[in-house]
Structure 1
């Protein structure tokens, strides 16, 4: 896949200094760090290395990645490493995709209290799924969950929700057998929705009583307990969106899905179309419309594009991928082994690492020979060696 003609980094480099000056005092340190990381990613500012082919002497310069979790260019490699670890955990059975979404009325509170509210979203959704699955009226088993937080809609508005990937069954509560769900049906969505609504609101009220929530601007009145109770009243009767998609075709389909979702950022470089005096034009999907008409283009003023991108910067320490139930990190390996035993399936064979799949041993794009690092240069330094003249080679973009 060729490199996109336009990147978020290009927009930040061009308009970032003026935007930061215009919004001085209203931009968080984490947001400033993200902008700096994206602007400098894979440039001489971060240093890099020079590699030469042992066979044909083809020479290339590779600049270091910023490795920031919000950078569109860095997440492809991070996703591959993460997926390699997850592949050994997959079970040979259908997997289901469940989405828990917070109502729009809570979006402002969530944005002003990202760390607290996103944590509550993770916990309430996981508790909901684990509770209903354990109920003998439904599945009667302990299940495993991989949960991924997204805070954006296709137009980069603030839209917090979690995507959950769940195998179609679990270990019985006594630990003696594997319990499979009905074909094509995991758990009743309406039951999940009602419990999720109750659990989340209980946790949100408890956070408010503990003084863990902050309110600003038009929401400042919600700091008062009575006002907050009145604000939540309509939400206790509204239908909360819990969406269960059709099961995946198999474990490999799960991996393909996870590779697209786990390390996604607010907008991929591949969705950018133009950057000019009118602003930034990009592709987006209108989920309210069915069919091909849902795919549209949107142009935002550059200031607004940057603002929307940065509202999805997560607080330091907030993990956006979490595991629950059988997949909880402490006991995951034992639980997976027990599940395989109950399903009577063998452990997957470990795949040997070869130069073709090992990113630490890249091959020459000209002859396929082994590339050897001949120089490492520091930040803002100029390498002593020069690269070979450009050829019609393929460059992989991980955005």
Structure 2
């Protein structure tokens, strides 16, 4: 059970009556309230060891639900591990400066597209210069929108192989040094210039509200060597299918306040933050992505549409292709633990129908 999910479901009706929430946030709250309840239906299991029965309700699989995401995160992690190349990897982080965060909150869909597009373009443009790499990159970006106290802090993490395709895709060019990809200063400058131009075209009214100092100050781009890339994948997997906070960080929560723990980024000390219920709900909901927006995006020869170029990379690097055999459909998978005898021998023997759907539990604000 998730105490956070239960709290969100209990607080949602009152919060929606007094605060404006978007359709995406409304759907997220409704999904969290229905998750693993009779309204979702379920499955009936029978233990082959002790012959007793058990049942489980279906999950909502919403990416903002505290209960869900474990299986999908594990599957994503395994897929990314299978795609790792025998080269050094780098984590490149692009952070949106504070003056643009209000625009991000007001126009999240547009700003997320700009953040992904301009950060990837900045990396590619600097990497294409012969003095840095002179090659085309392949990279995977993961959007992260929250800070340690659940405040809005939009940034994108890219995992980038150390090298790229050069000479029209006929050769692989390694980085000049195994633990060095490229300097961060020109990448940050290119990112700042690209965001300024793109924002002026996409949202001219919002661009006019940004102070001139934002376009003159240095922007933050961090480039770190992460070895074989496995540690970076494990780190990024936490953001693929999970939301801003989990039950592990919650200390206390009731109808009035929520207290949770966090690690201070400056000192490294563990601290606690206490918010009133409405502010905690606001911070939680501001990280619900708009419908249709992808948190993970691929660029260059890592894009799914560029699979032929990806095959060229694998050939140039002599990557061993591992084909995982498919399991026969008639093979019974024993992986669920029986709550009665603790044996991993539960097998699905039936389904539970969904109960009649109740009226929408989240009323619209007047």
Indicate yes or no: 2:144 matched with 1:167.
no
Give 2:186's aligned residue: 191
**Cα displacement (A) at 1:35:** 0.8
- SS class of match (1:283): strand
Give 2:310's aligned residue: 336
CA distance in 2, matches of 1:121, 1:102: 8
Give 2:212's aligned residue: 233
The 8 Å contact of residues 99 and 210 in structure 2, kept in 1 or not, is answered as: no
Q: Deviations over 1:165-204 (max 9, x none)?
A: 1111111132222111112111111111100000011000
Alignment RMSD (CA, Å): 2.3
Give 1:299's aligned residue: 274
Give 1:99's aligned residue: 93
The 8 Å contact of residues 52 and 374 in structure 1, kept in 2 or not, is answered as: yes
**Cα displacement (A) at 1:156:** 1.0
Indicate yes or no: 2:354 matched with 1:379.
yes
CA distance in 2, matches of 1:265, 1:99: 19
Give 2:231's aligned residue: 253
Indicate yes or no: 2:315 matched with 1:319.
no
The 8 Å contact of residues 92 and 251 in structure 1, kept in 2 or not, is answered as: no
Give 1:200's aligned residue: 195
Residue pairs, 1:217-296, within 5 angstroms: 222=205, 228-229=207-208, 231-245=210-224, 247-276=225-254, 279-287=257-265, 289-291=266-268, 293=269, 295-296=270-271
CA change 1:91–1:16 in 2 (3 A) is: same
- What is the count of residue pairs matched by the alignment? 352
CA distance in 2, matches of 1:275, 1:229: 41
Q: Which moved more, 1:57-66 or 1:160-169?
A: 57-66
CA change 1:65–1:208 in 2 (3 A) is: same
Residue pairs, 1:11-30, within 5 angstroms: 11-23=7-19, 26-30=20-24
CA distance in 1, matches of 2:40, 2:279: 28
Give 2:361's aligned residue: none
CA distance in 2, matches of 1:112, 1:360: 47
CA distance in 2, matches of 1:78, 1:359: 21
Q: Deviations over 1:94-124 (max 9, x none)?
A: 2111110111111001110011111000000
Give 2:61's aligned residue: 67
CA distance in 1, matches of 2:32, 2:52: 29
CA distance in 2, matches of 1:377, 1:354: 26
The 8 Å contact of residues 11 and 255 in structure 2, kept in 1 or not, is answered as: no
Q: Deviations over 1:129-151 (max 9, x none)?
A: 11111111101111111011111
Unaligned runs of 5+ in 1: 210-221, 382-399
Unaligned runs of 5+ in 2: 357-366
Q: Deviations over 1:253-288 (max 9, x none)?
A: 34322322322311122211111365111112221x
The 8 Å contact of residues 142 and 236 in structure 2, kept in 1 or not, is answered as: no
CA change 1:231–1:55 in 2 (3 A) is: closer
Give 2:4's aligned residue: 8
CA distance in 2, matches of 1:93, 1:143: 13
TM-score of the pair, normalised by structure 1: 0.82
**Cα displacement (A) at 1:369:** 4.8
